[in-house]
Structure 1
Amino acid sequence: MPARAIPKRDAEQPLPFTGDSVNDGDFAPDLNTAEHGGQTPPLTRSTRSHSITAQTLSGSYSRNPIRSFAHQTSHSFADTPQYASQGVRERSSQLASYALDAEEYQDRPHRHSFADTDTDTASGRHAGLLSEYSGGRASPDSAWADTIDEDSEPETPETVIGPDHHDSAFFSPSPRRGNDAQSRDARRASTRSKVPPVVVQDTERTPLLPVPRLSRLDSQSNKHNQASDHVRKRRPASTLPARVRETLATGREHLAHLGRSVVNPKNYTRGVVVAHALGSLQMVSAVFLGLLLNLLDALSYGYILFPLGAPIFSQTGPDGISIFFVSCIVSQLCYSLGLSSFRGGVGSEMIEVVPFFHKMAYSIMEQMEGEPPEAVIATTIVSYCLSSILTGLIFLALGAFKLGNLVSFFPRHILIGCIGGVGFFLVVTGIEVSARLGGSLNYDLETLHKLLSADTWYLWSLPLFLAISIMILQRMVKSPFVLPVFFVLIFATFYTIVKGIFHMDLEIVRDAGWIFEQPEAGVKFYRFYSYFKFGSIDGAALASTIPTMFALSFFGIIHVPINVPALGAAVKEDNLDVNRELIAHGISNTLSGFVGSIQNYLVYANSVMFIDNGGDSRTAGLLLAAATAAIWIAGPAMIGYIPICLVGALIFLLGIDLMKEALWDTFGKCHKLEYLTILAIVLIMGIHDFVVGILVGIVLACVSYVVQSSRHPAIRASYTGVVAESTVRRPRADGRYLNKVRGQIRVIKLGGFLFFGTIVSVEDYMRSLINEDHFEKQPVSFIIVDFTHVTDVDFSSSEGFQRINRIVSRKKVKMIISGVSFASPVGRALQNVGLLDEADDDEGCAPPQVFEDLNTALESCENEMLEVFHKHCNSSASKRQQTTPPMSINGTNGTQQIATGGSPTSYGASSLNPAFASPRRGARLVAARSTARETNHDSLSLPDSSSQDAAPSSQSAPSRWRNFAQPLRIILQTFEDVSTRNEDFWHVVAPYFERKEYLAGAVLYSRGDDPDGFYILEKGRFRAEYELDQGSFFEVILPGTTCGELPFFSETDRTGTVAVENDSVAWLLTRDKFNELEKKDQAVAMELLKVGFKLTKERMDAITSYVLVTAS
């Protein structure tokens, strides 16, 4: 088939098995010379330049030692390192030519490699540049900047790769120069066109007048314009003022809608009035339920807003209730007026912050010891309000910058521990309130004797019993009315027993500790505003509470991203925006702080009960706010009639429920370290300090993460070269040799984030590969560390790889890095520690070679092993005497097969022979000897370098096929291991092959083409690329191998695209010639078919193995 010339590929190329296109600039951003046609960049890794100034500076640094190694963490590098893959493809082609006896072996320019020698010399460390081995086109993995001139010619169906062939960037032709103007005009015309043409596939069902496509402007009706304007108006704003204005505008819209509904006469018809009346009754019941919940919460948690055990705050219980009501009113108005997406959302005080308030109050009392009580109370209540304002500002910032999901990154078990700490505090507070302790609960024997005394134990035991009873009842009866009905019954039962049965005076009951003390006469509902005496505020004491304020704010903001999505799922609210809810909470908390109240939030449990009972409207929310305001204005006189056991039961109920969530529900469900972290947070927060508990929890979470991550192995998989081989198609002799020595290659695939906790296991594993016991069983010459699945490495890991490189270098093992981009975080981290810099002479450690992918790294290692094979064949041929080889004692002839699995001494090799100085080198030379024997390159005896009587020959001995003419010679070399037929059989097929010469850049065939030929490559290099839905990969086809056999013999479409990388010579068997062969000699055609399928099976095994290795 005619070859189609294509332009030389650009810098962009697909990575194997990824389908992603990468640019050479991603790997080496400084390769400007290659892009602008400058000098060819060096084919080896660039090393650090050592100028006189640099040597002087380095000497000065060595004379002045640095006290800390931390000063060296910012390691600079002068030149951008280069990939070691440059020139690998060219060397692969030359090695294949040596295997086919097409060229005389020429040793490559020396590069430092422990695979070549076991003696480290200075000349090996300072290696030269690789020479250009062929005059053909450069490898696709090279950075050469040659261009292929292309003559302008008319495009025909035979020369154009159609759009149906989804070829990679390597095979995509560039636009013709002659058609640039036409293409530009076509683009302008398509840009100016308002109405695109209608393409109709004519069938018997096609209408005669198809519906035309309208232009974008004509297709928009007024209704669509209104819808788009509405969507555009609802688009979230980007700045904080704009988002606040948007939220306020939403509230104004709801107010305007309410006003229109009031004045609309259609809303006053009989049916509407009846429907509204029924709805109002249900709404009233919901409002009553919400008011009852607010009242119970106020009596439970608002009453303990200040530490009542301290003498200064002993009379502030009613004020705490008033502050609680103000916070509820402000939040309810904000949410019901449109700031929140939930129409029936219930706002209330954030009761979880009460422990932090007590911490702040005690801190201020300690700082202001000896000051008047008015100053202490003023400073305390101002700190409460400032904490609310701070919480509101944080809410606003999170909503404005759309950080609603930020809290999701915080460890869940720390949050659960904090919740358990709050539960512990509430249980302790319930004991303090119920037992009427004079101060805080102290963990000593005196307090224990007090709690167990005859006149106290029943005061706190009864509320605890009631709390446990309601928890059991809630598990048995699934109804939202259980809680309010239960506490109403407690209230009714208490007064039935006290007044109806025993007719006791309330003062006696109050003195016995069953009812709260009666507030002072004349206490107004707004008395707490009289505490704001700004002139008496102590600034230093106020400043000391700032850390607690931030801890309180942190604990407050974690509720919204958790409660809001849960509430949305419970009430089936689909149009939910967490950032909008954050702004609503920010406004409500900020306003609450400015009006003298505390934090508030959207309560999940109260909102669900309120909405389920008919409160799913903003009107119901406004009525709830009005009813709460009425209770607030009624004053705190009701407190003197509330049973303490009722309030204590509520406090115990919430405390036990929170501790159950933290300690019981997580038992056995989380990791042991995480559970210990939760337990430590609960105990520290409940017994010692809340802020310290959170900090300890964060530290323990970090330790837990490090320990758990360290246990997860960073090594995804480890393979020997027997399993992991490159996709290069090599000649048969090279393949046989590599099959015997591939075990000296070790591939280690790493994954995830490598840090100081995981690098230890990597280092231990690589040490185990080179220890004495393992090294004797399986010598290792190359260790390829694949970073394809590594996301990032920290400084400790980068230093660890530098240490690992020194360790393996001492054992003459070469470490190679693959799958690293120099522009990625992994590549930069390895450069920053100097891992890729050329080592000094006194260190004796070469830097590891770096390859773009694992396939190229494996190809490079195989090439270095083949160097030993061909060097041995060349030296053996030059030293072989032209005499008959000696016969063995047992009478066997010189063509006897020798196994290669044993030690070198089993073949008569002396341990003093330099060729067997190490197990690795000896195994490679034995494999080379046996492989050369199989191809008739060597005699039975191994040449001894110490013998002086061997007369060298100027020419190498001929191989078994050297005297055959082409194409019979290449056919025999290609089919030698897959067919038992000899030259007498295969000479029949030789005339059917046609010699073809291809220039670099030609395309033999593309994916989807008809299989009109079967190729045997004699000289040059092909590249086959496969584009699949799962990704793409490529193969390198060297002389002595085939391509296109499977589609040709199976008569199916081409599965890949094959292009010529270097000027090549191939032998082509066309379809017509094969049909002619089948007619004249059926046996030869059948044997050729079997050979093709055997070769395909070998390639499929290699490709499948590589795919699985790469994906692992």
Structure 2
Amino acid sequence: MSVTSVVKRGIEEILHDFSPRRAGATTAYGVIFGVTNITSIISMMALVFRGDLAYALPVGIGIGLFSSMLNGIVTAVGSSFSGTVASVQDTSAIAGVAAAAIAIEVTGERQVPTVIGLLVVSSIVTSAGLLIAGHYRLGGLVRYLPNPVIGGFQVATGVLFLLGAAGILMPEGLDRAGELDAILSWVPAAGLGAVLYAMSRNDRSRPIIPWLILSSCAMVHLVFAGSGTGIDQARQRGWLLGGLDNTSGWTLGTVTTIRDAEWGAVLSQAGAIITIAVLAGLGLLIRSHSLDSASGSDIDVDRELTVTGLSIAAAIPAAGPPGYMYFATSLLLRRLGGPRRGAALLSVLVVGTALLVGSAILTVVPAPVVGAILVSQALGFLAVWLWDSRTTLDRVEYGLVAGSGVAVLLFGFLNAIALGTIAAIVLFVFRYSRISAIRHSYSLQVFRSTTERSTAEADVIESEGHRGVVLELHGYLFFGTAHDVFTDPRIIDRLDELDFVVFDLTSVTGLDSSASASLGKLARIAHQSGVAIVLAGPRRRIEELVAQADAVGRQAIGRFGSLDEAVNWCEEQILTAHLERPLDGQTISELLAEVSRSPAQAERIAGAFTRRAYPAGAVVIAQDQPAPGFFFVESGTLTARLRSMNGNTTRLRTMLPATVLGEISLYRGGNATAEVIAETESAVLHLAPDDLERLESDDPGSAAVIHRLAARTLAGRLIHAERALRTLRD
């Protein structure tokens, strides 16, 4: 869908929501959610501008309100989910960590411009990342993120929210938590936060949340009025966000102050900037998927990435941190069943009107209510991953998730995220390395090539096939799995019994240098023991695997484009070493004599066959034509192949001298299911269906020999297939 059509459709839905019949509900929902959003924005910006930066909180709130308005307008119009409400979100916690570090490094008049520069750069990086992800349709990548990483991010963020709430409710430090003023601030906030969280988990009570927040603000002010507590006194006692000066509030020119920023200090927070971008993208993807599941809607995640990237870019002039969808509010608008896109747009316009009030808005929202919102947000993260997931994560994964929260307290947020991610990667590598890269293993007795050989040759391969082993590899070969593959007991413990080791690389998706090094060691050992190492698969993959083998090892490694070619080569080597008679010496009379036990009868039956010669490339049996009968390959090589409707062909098997074909059509009748061509100049002995019928009538005993030969051929193939299936099953 083009940008023009997206905007046009969004505007049409908004206009519909403001139609006479829906304008009342749209206004009510928009105002309620707008006021609630203002309290959340204040809470988020209080995470950034706190401590040594608390004096600039009015600037921060102005930045948050203006950027949320711009961000929300674009999202309300363009989101694929009608009714999406967007604003600054939990990435403010990371921005707060970085801002605190800047406040230590930079002092004086350049302090606030430097923090604003941090927010602007964070938004630029995040916007660019989301736009690129949306353009290349990377929305589905969220499914590749392991649960411990997602959970660790969110638990660490939850702990940051709790620390931020503590800083707002107890600005003089946790050691003063037992004093009366602090108790009167944090105890109601903790209780209200728990209630807000509990209500957010219940569909019936969720619509009451905005009213509860507004009524809580009103109740606190009633207590102030009843107790004679003035605004200044409330600020002094920590019940209102204090230290504010109306003359220091935000203006439209605030973003221009970044010209005075200390950019070295901003760049020193590159880790935090990247973390903000990653968390914003991760948070958007998780919320989009959650909203899709909870609402039953079909959300276009790639479109959400693009729209959010554009909305963040639109808010860059406001110098605000990255903002994206509010999951709870967006879902609530949908579940209320009323107007959606129009209410979402009005809610962000209400946020914009707060800019006219300036820093005086801080007198409306008491600190305990701000702290309660942060507590409820923290509980939302912590409860899901520390309580709900206790039965879905195993102990190690749960330990990683819970450890991320502890690590925040011990090492700080960024270090905790880094440690958690590294631990999750190590866990993945450890667990993946325990999955064997050997999918199946067979001896050459079980796994045969598609080349049909004479009975004598097949008997030799059956007898000597234990001297070769085929290992089918899969997945990614790396340091965690390669060593086990190339030191497998089925190879190392049997080197004195083996002549061939075949590695099938067809299903190998990639490999690292350690796999090549391990193969090189095996090739040297195998060469000393007289064992041939054979690789089968794509040429590029084979070359990658032999890259680090030395000259001796590389020379000892055989290479083939397919497993069938490799196994056929091994069979040829076995026959050359162990077959006493010439490979093409058996005649049809000798083959029939093995079945009939009567050389005279065998000669009589052989006389019923007609000799036919074919040049190379000639068609012996045509696919989808009536089956021509029973054949014995006297000389040359025939190949059976299946031709598809689009003209492509697939080789099924190759027949050498002293083999038979046509045995299936002998009983099934009908048309041939594949074609047979002469690979080389060939001669066959042919028994046509009419000749067989005549033989059955005139000489039933001789016809029975033909049937026994066909049955023996089919039984041999069936036994071989059953043995292979049993090996796979075991």
Are residue 867 (structure 1) and residue 584 (structure 2) matched?
no
Residues 46-103 of structure 1: per-residue CA shift (max 9 Å, x gap): xxxxxxxxxxxxxxxxxxxxxxxxxxxxxxxxxxxxxxxxxxxxxxxxxxxxxxxxxx
Q: Equivalent residue of 1:316, what SS? A: helix
Residues 636-663 of structure 1: per-residue CA shift (max 9 Å, x gap): 3343354433222211111121122333
Are residue 433 (structure 1) and residue 174 (structure 2) matched?
no
**Match of residue 346 from structure 1:** 85
Are residue 997 (structure 1) and residue 723 (structure 2) matched?
no
- Give yes or no for contact 2:593–2:602 (8 Å, CA) kept in 1: no
Residue 797 (structure 1) shift: 0.7
- Give yes or no for contact 1:727–1:1106 (8 Å, CA) kept in 2: no
**Match of residue 717 from structure 1:** 440
> Which one of 328, 332, 341 corresponds to residue 72 of structure 2?
332
Q: Equivalent residue of 1:516, what SS? A: coil
Between the aligned partners of 1:520 and 1:1046, the Cα distance in structure 2 is: 93
- When the two structures are superposed, what TM-score results if normalisation uses the length of structure 2? 0.88
Residues 371-398 of structure 1: per-residue CA shift (max 9 Å, x gap): 43x3322322333233323333433444
Flag the 1:1101–1:730 CA change in 2: closer, same or farther, 3 A: same
Residue 804 (structure 1) shift: 0.8
**Match of residue 555 from structure 1:** 279
> Which one of 769, 772, 776 corresponds to residue 491 of structure 2?
769
> Which one of 821, 825, 828 corresponds to residue 543 of structure 2?
828
Residue 514 (structure 1) shift: 6.6
Matches within 5 A, 1:75-224: none
Flag the 1:1064–1:522 CA change in 2: closer, same or farther, 3 A: closer
**Match of residue 93 from structure 2:** 355
Query: Residue type of the partner of 1:469?
Result: V
Residue 453 (structure 1) shift: 5.3
From the CA coordinates, give the structure whose radius of gyration is larger.
Answer: 1
**Bigger helix share:** 2
- Give yes or no for contact 2:596–2:602 (8 Å, CA) kept in 1: no
Flag the 1:459–1:1097 CA change in 2: closer, same or farther, 3 A: same
Query: Residue type of the partner of 1:347?
Result: A
Flag the 1:1052–1:292 CA change in 2: closer, same or farther, 3 A: same
> Which one of 835, 838, 848 corresponds to residue 557 of structure 2?
848
**Match of residue 858 from structure 1:** 567
- Give yes or no for contact 1:1049–1:1089 (8 Å, CA) kept in 2: no
Q: Equivalent residue of 1:388, what SS? A: helix
- Give yes or no for contact 2:58–2:244 (8 Å, CA) kept in 1: no
Flag the 1:1004–1:1087 CA change in 2: closer, same or farther, 3 A: same
Flag the 1:868–1:470 CA change in 2: closer, same or farther, 3 A: same
**Match of residue 666 from structure 1:** 389
Residue 676 (structure 1) shift: 4.0
- Give yes or no for contact 2:159–2:378 (8 Å, CA) kept in 1: yes
Flag the 1:1104–1:525 CA change in 2: closer, same or farther, 3 A: same
Q: Equivalent residue of 1:483, what SS? A: helix
Q: Equivalent residue of 1:437, what SS? A: coil
Between the aligned partners of 1:640 and 1:815, the Cα distance in structure 2 is: 80
Residue 775 (structure 1) shift: 6.4
Flag the 1:419–1:995 CA change in 2: closer, same or farther, 3 A: same
Matches within 5 A, 1:1046-1065: 1046-1065=664-683
Residue 764 (structure 1) shift: 2.1
For these two proteins, the number of residue pairs brought into alignment is 727
**Match of residue 802 from structure 1:** 520
> Which one of 711, 715, 718 corresponds to residue 1097 of structure 1?
715
The unaligned stretches of length 5 or more in structure 2 are: none
Matches within 5 A, 1:777-788: 779-788=497-506
> Which one of 1072, 1076, 1100 corresponds to residue 694 of structure 2?
1076
Matches within 5 A, 1:37-56: none
Query: Residue type of the partner of 2:83?
Result: G
Flag the 1:596–1:1026 CA change in 2: closer, same or farther, 3 A: closer
Q: Equivalent residue of 1:278, what SS? A: coil
Q: Equivalent residue of 1:713, what SS? A: coil
Residue 1085 (structure 1) shift: 1.8
Between the aligned partners of 1:331 and 1:670, the Cα distance in structure 2 is: 36
Q: Equivalent residue of 2:451, what SS? A: coil
**Match of residue 973 from structure 1:** 590
- Give yes or no for contact 1:1045–1:1092 (8 Å, CA) kept in 2: yes
> Which one of 60, 74, 92 corresponds to residue 320 of structure 1?
60
**Match of residue 412 from structure 2:** 689
**Match of residue 480 from structure 1:** 206
Residue 425 (structure 1) shift: 0.8
Matches within 5 A, 1:500-539: 503-506=227-230, 510=234, 513=237, 515-516=239-240, 522-523=246-247, 526=250, 533=257, 536-539=260-263
Flag the 1:599–1:858 CA change in 2: closer, same or farther, 3 A: closer
Between the aligned partners of 1:480 and 1:720, the Cα distance in structure 2 is: 65
Residue 985 (structure 1) shift: 3.6
Residue 677 (structure 1) shift: 3.7
- Give yes or no for contact 1:363–1:544 (8 Å, CA) kept in 2: no
Flag the 1:587–1:803 CA change in 2: closer, same or farther, 3 A: same
**Match of residue 922 from structure 1:** none
Flag the 1:251–1:641 CA change in 2: closer, same or farther, 3 A: closer
Flag the 1:734–1:538 CA change in 2: closer, same or farther, 3 A: closer
Flag the 1:385–1:743 CA change in 2: closer, same or farther, 3 A: closer
**Match of residue 306 from structure 1:** 49
Q: Equivalent residue of 2:122, what SS? A: helix
Between the aligned partners of 1:864 and 1:817, the Cα distance in structure 2 is: 16
Query: Residue type of the partner of 2:92?
Result: V
Between the aligned partners of 1:1011 and 1:705, the Cα distance in structure 2 is: 56
Query: Residue type of the partner of 2:84?
Result: G
Matches within 5 A, 1:750-765: 750-765=473-488
- Give yes or no for contact 1:287–1:624 (8 Å, CA) kept in 2: yes
Between the aligned partners of 1:529 and 1:583, the Cα distance in structure 2 is: 28
Residues 740-778 of structure 1: per-residue CA shift (max 9 Å, x gap): 22211211111111112111111221x55343xx568xx
Residue 715 (structure 1) shift: 0.5
- Give yes or no for contact 1:290–1:610 (8 Å, CA) kept in 2: no
